[in-house]
Structure 1
Amino acid sequence: MAGVNDQRDDRALRADCGSCFGLCCVALPFSASADFAINKDAGKPCSNLQTDFRCGIHTRLRQSGFPGCTVYDCFGAGQKVSQVTFGGTDWRQAPESASQMFAVFPVVRQLHELLRYLTEALTLHPARALHGELRRLLEETERLTGLGPDALEKLDVATHRQDVNVLLLRTSELVRAEAAGKMKDRKNKDRKNKDRKNKDRKKDRRGADLVGARLRGADLRGADLRGAYLIAADLTGADLRLADLIGADLRDANLAGADLTGSIFLTQPQLNAAKGDLSTRVPPGLTRPAHWS
């Protein structure tokens, strides 16, 4: 059993644009490309941002040349910075706070992403021996999100992220070991499998360059795909149950008919960046993107 509480309440880690001052539309830069129709500097409002901090083309972002916006998620950092860190005073009302608000937003966004992973890790039954350490780091991360603007601006978030990553890696190893155990009996019966070692190596693809890879129908149960580049990879019908997908780049990856149930550390932005269909099976708590056929 991979999870013990798939119905966890993680609403604070979901973007609430109505409570945010359009921070992702101002603080972050982007360049004209297949993802964005225009160039925009950091700290400059997007030309589509309205006076009420809403996006004027939100319902037609892809058609308007802004698919990059549809795959971005602040994990709730926008409303946290807007309503808590800066007490509900926006950068238009207090322009003197704008530069600091824009600098703090990416820091809190990283912390909220870590909260998202730690929250999921605490639902994974195979990692129950680590739950005490996971709770400690979750509480510490939550504490950091509540710091004031000055402290957040100076925070060494990279070091904290590394501490969390060490524990998430241990969590992943325990979960994927369970997947390996489930496949053990079947492998023992298949004595004629000459490329067993090669298949095992394929399960360890951490950080691998798999851009455009042909992985149609691949058995990737329990695979380590942390940080793997799966851009435009053909994963049609692939079995990705219990695979670790933290940080995997799934832009334009074909997930039609793929089974992602039980995969760990998969996020909504990753799904939004991929291609899929009605037969793609996604984990509980994530939503099949509207643009999937």
Structure 2
Amino acid sequence: MSYHQVENISNSRAELRADCESCFGLCCAALQFGAGVDFAADKAAGQACPNLREDFRCGVHTELREIGYRGCTVYDCFGAGQKVSQLTFGGRDWRQAPATSKQMFDVLPVMRQLHELLWYLGEALSLASAQKLIGRELQEAYEQTEHMTELPSDELLQLDVDAHRAEVNRLLLRVSKLVRGETLRPLTGKGGRRKVYDRGADLFGAKLRGADLRGAFLRGACLIAADLRDADLRGADLIGADCRDTDLRGADLSSSLFLTQFQVNAAKGDAATKLPPMLMRPGHWGS
């Protein structure tokens, strides 16, 4: 892959961040949520949140966590909201064209899944070893996925996203095995056996402070409320891991694999937490 192709992928990944200014408040209207720890009230899918203003901005944005809407500060659409608003529906909002609202709301989760796949594929393409071995396959999968995001709304709703996701996942697993192997190789001969985790490992509330989790396979792991303070997660595969209230203060995730903004937002961290360069430190994290 050429330098310009890599640069273009990097720029594209930057566009997979939510841009609420270019979105018609889709997550505030399309999605359903129930009253509980993360949301202060029930809201049906397709019903606008009462805090959504006429300009599609949140009327209580600066106090969401204080008034019981923590879930809103965690959610991330991977830039799907602005894509649906500005490209798929050409800048016409659901209030201007109410007849399109249901279809617009139905398209959002489809687009979000495709953008999530673009995030993972873009990261895989940024890894030199993955480029060398399966770069062409990754590039083809990226371009195919990107093409899907540009389809008209009716065609987007007909996509078999699960099947496409399964194909992409096979590539991502190969990347994971390759990169984690490189991470673990220098540790060979250090003595002692390293803990091996199965996919979807139940680590709810686990006490792993300071743990050496370099190259760990933590796909789909339940890390809810786990103590990972000062843990070393470089090269660890975290795709799909549930990081709600995971304590990542002081942890090193600088080169972890397939970490997302959504997971980071759901966790606890501080100024000492090391994140991959494409991810942003949440404003609600401590100092």
Same fold (TM over 0.5): yes
- Shift in Å at residue 204 of structure 1? 2.8
Q: 1:84 aligns with which of 83, 87, 90?
A: 87
- Bigger relative contact order (CA 8 A; separation at least 6): 1
> How far apart, in 2, do the equivalents of 1:127 and 1:172 lie?
9
Q: Which residue of 1 aligns with 2:45?
A: 42
> How far apart, in 1, do the equivalents of 2:20 and 2:196 lie?
38
Structure 2: where are the runs of 5+ without partners? 1-5
Q: Which residue of 2 aligns with 1:291?
A: 284
| 1:136-155 → structure 2 map (5 Å cutoff) | 136-155=140-159
Contact (CA 8 Å) 1:260, 1:280: kept in 2 or not? yes
Q: Which amino acid aligns with 1:177?
A: G
Q: Which residue of 1 aligns with 2:100?
A: 97
> How far apart, in 2, do the equivalents of 1:59 and 1:260 lie?
28
Once the two structures are superposed, what CA deviation does each residue of 1:20-54 show, in whole Å capped at 9, x if it has no partner?
11100000000001000000000000011000000
Between the two proteins, what is the percent identity of the paired residues? 63
Q: 2:22 aligns with which of 12, 15, 19?
A: 19
Aligned residue pairs total: 278
- Shift in Å at residue 153 of structure 1? 1.1
Contact (CA 8 Å) 1:126, 1:178: kept in 2 or not? no
Q: Does 2:180 match 1:176?
A: yes
Structure 1: where are the runs of 5+ without partners? none
> How far apart, in 2, do the equivalents of 1:257 and 1:74 lie?
27
Contact (CA 8 Å) 1:203, 1:220: kept in 2 or not? no
Q: Which residue of 1 aligns with 2:252?
A: 259
- Shift in Å at residue 151 of structure 1? 0.6
Q: Which residue of 1 aligns with 2:10?
A: 8
> How far apart, in 2, do the equivalents of 1:16 and 1:233 lie?
31
> How far apart, in 2, do the equivalents of 1:255 and 1:33 lie?
24
Q: Which residue of 2 aligns with 1:156?
A: 160
Q: Which residue of 2 aligns with 1:241?
A: 234
> How far apart, in 2, do the equivalents of 1:211 and 1:86 lie?
41
Q: Which residue of 2 aligns with 1:117?
A: 120
Contact (CA 8 Å) 1:205, 1:223: kept in 2 or not? no
- Shift in Å at residue 157 of structure 1? 0.7
Q: Which amino acid aligns with 2:183?
A: A
Q: Does 2:125 match 1:132?
A: no
> How far apart, in 2, do the equivalents of 1:26 and 1:110 lie?
18
TM-score under structure 1 length normalisation: 0.92
Q: Does 2:233 match 1:231?
A: no
Contact (CA 8 Å) 1:122, 1:135: kept in 2 or not? yes
The list of structure 1 runs, each at least 4 consecutive aligned residues, that deviate by more than 2 angstroms after superposition, is: 202-205
Contact (CA 8 Å) 2:14, 2:278: kept in 1 or not? no
Q: Which residue of 2 aligns with 1:57?
A: 60
> How far apart, in 2, do the equivalents of 1:11 and 1:237 lie?
28
> How far apart, in 1, do the equivalents of 2:278 and 2:79 lie?
15
SS at match of 2:86: helix
- Shift in Å at residue 205 of structure 1? 3.6
Contact (CA 8 Å) 1:175, 1:242: kept in 2 or not? yes
Once the two structures are superposed, what CA deviation does each residue of 1:137-190 show, in whole Å capped at 9, x if it has no partner?
0000000001111111111111111111111111100000001112114x2xx3
> How far apart, in 1, do the equivalents of 2:36 and 2:66 lie?
14
Q: 1:70 aligns with which of 70, 73, 78?
A: 73
Q: Which residue of 1 aligns with 2:170?
A: 166
Q: Which residue of 1 aligns with 2:214?
A: 221
- Shift in Å at residue 8 of structure 1? 2.3
- Shift in Å at residue 11 of structure 1? 2.7
